[in-house]
Chains A and B, each alone.
Chain A
Amino acid sequence: MMRVTFTVNGREQSADDVWEGESLLYVLRERLGLPGSKNACEQGECGSCTVYLDGVPVCACLVAAGQAEGRAVRTVEGLADGGALDPVQEAFAECGAVQCGFCTPGLVVQTHDLLARVPRPSDAEIREALAGNLCRCTGYEKILDAVRLAAARKAEGAGYE
């Protein structure tokens, strides 16, 4: 067993008695009280546990806890600015892009990264970016609507329109 210390959503946190083969996802959910990242497939197939690791979106289920030592993790809980939702979160809620909600945190983080890199993505770019995030409820149409809306809002906010 080991102690793992890393930054989560801007705050340094430690977890004790971490098993060496444990995933970052397990540490976040079960040891640090951050259940936003969802545990669905545990094999990187579904994207529900997508978090930023040093600014890069990854499946937290495929990161060994020890690999996060000293690194910076940002989860879906860390996207809102105080009480104000991130534009991506707002757009998902407004567009009805959420049904059972299980895939939502992963989709929100992955979309957040897409729009940071590609402010006005084409539909093909959106589909490619979200190809590793499975939703079994919505049929994806409302999710695509939400990404387009968030992109438009962010562009407005940035003064492009």
Chain B
Amino acid sequence: MDFLRPTTWQEALAAKADRPDAVPLQGGTDVMVELNFDVRRPAALLDLTRVPELRAWEMTGGYCRIGAGVSYATVIEELSGPLPGLAQAARTVGSPQIRNRGSVGGNLGAASPAGDSHPPLLAAGAVVEVESRERGVRMIPAAEFYLGVKRSALEPDELIRAVHVPPATGPQYFSKVGTRNAMVIAVCSFAIALHPRERRVGTGIGSAAPTPRRAREAEELLARELDWSAPLDPALAHRFGELCARAAAPIDDVRGSAAYRAHALGVLARRTLTWAWNDYRRAA
């Protein structure tokens, strides 16, 4: 096995172009588990922790551009204001030790349907910035990034540079079902983002389909029927929950049954919409 350690982004792109079989390594919270348990023996590891630009975030072009190596701890400490949904999700990741190392970029690279970052990125309308030496930068909307269980639109010679997330213009919530508050891989999870200027609500479903996904019919229902100047109609919230549950395609596994996941998703969707709506009305 080779251990590649680029110290600049250009070096990292060159290393990945020359060695498309190299597995990118950031905080190691997924990759090292697979190595420790002999599940994976890549030909090379590409350590990205020495590329300083990956560890920074900036506001640019109306988006918050989060470097692929920005840790969950940093998201919580520094981005709770502009990105409340993502920060809430970050707070539910693993433990303090895991949040010190794990990154949103790594979550995207692993593309697990249960990754906690994905639902809030979908609900907010995030865009993933990927780059290769040969073809330059591609901007991939989060909704088009996830292709299958642990499969993404990332090509073998590409690396994730950053994720661009629009700062919140309304309340956002993330909610997750698990056996305890810490160290939980989601049984299912849900994120919601109100976009009051566009009179639109974004959604993201986690751990209840082969990929993280939006509940598009549920979003369309609210775009059509939500009265932005009135209290939330409980019947509408209920139908929203039902459509979110129907948007999922869960399986039975060790963490929960498909039926439970669908039911719980409906509850999470209804509750998070209610919380967000109450916040929105209070502020208005």
Chain A residues with a Cβ under 8 A of chain B: 2, 19-21, 23, 42-45, 47, 50, 56-59, 61-64, 66-67, 69, 110, 128-129, 131-133
Contacts and interface: CB of A to CB of B under 8 A. Distances in A.
Interface stretch (B34-42, B169-177, B226-234): B34-42
Interface residues of B, number: 29
Contacts of A67: 25, 28, 47, 49
A109 B31 CA distance: 24
A70 to B, nearest CB: 9
A87 B27 CA distance: 30
Contacts of A42: 33, 36-37
8 contacts: A45-B183, A58-B100, A62-B27, A62-B98, A63-B28, A66-B45, A67-B47, A132-B98
Contacts of B41: 21
A43 B100 contact: no
B32 interface: yes
B32 A63 contact: yes
Nearest to A114: B96
B164 to A, nearest CB: 26
Given A21-B45, A47-B95, A131-B182, A66 B3 contact: yes
Contact of A62 (B3, B28, B96): B28
Given A44-B33, A62-B27, A19 B94 contact: no
B92 to A, nearest CB: 11
Nearest to A56: B100
B37 A43 contact: yes
Task: Please indicate which of the listed interface residues B25, B27, B95 has the most CB atoms of chain A within 10 Å of its own CB.
Answer: B95
Task: Please indicate which of the listed interface residues A21, A50, A58 has the most CB atoms of chain B within 10 Å of its own CB.
Answer: A21
Contact of B32 (A47, A50, A64, A132): A64
A69 B5 CA distance: 10
Interface string B1-37: 1110100000000000000000001011100110111
A128 B52 CA distance: 29
A21 B46 CA distance: 11
Contact of B3 (A2, A23, A45, A128): A2
Given A20-B45, A50-B97, A110-B97, A62 B1 contact: no
B271 interface: no
Contacts of B3: 2, 20, 64, 66
A62 B32 contact: yes
Task: Please indicate which of the listed interface residues B25, B45, B101 has the most CB atoms of chain A within 10 Å of its own CB.
Answer: B101
B181 interface: yes
Contact of B29 (A23, A56, A62, A133): A62
Contacts of B98: 44, 59, 62, 132
Nearest to B30: A62
Contacts of B35: 21, 23, 64
Nearest to A45: B183
Given A42-B33, A43-B33, A62-B33, A131 B45 contact: no
A66 B5 contact: yes
A147 to B, nearest CB: 14
A132 B91 CA distance: 13
Nearest to B100: A56
Nearest to B28: A62
Contacts of A45: 183
Contacts of B1: 19-21
Contact of B96 (A20, A63, A128): A128
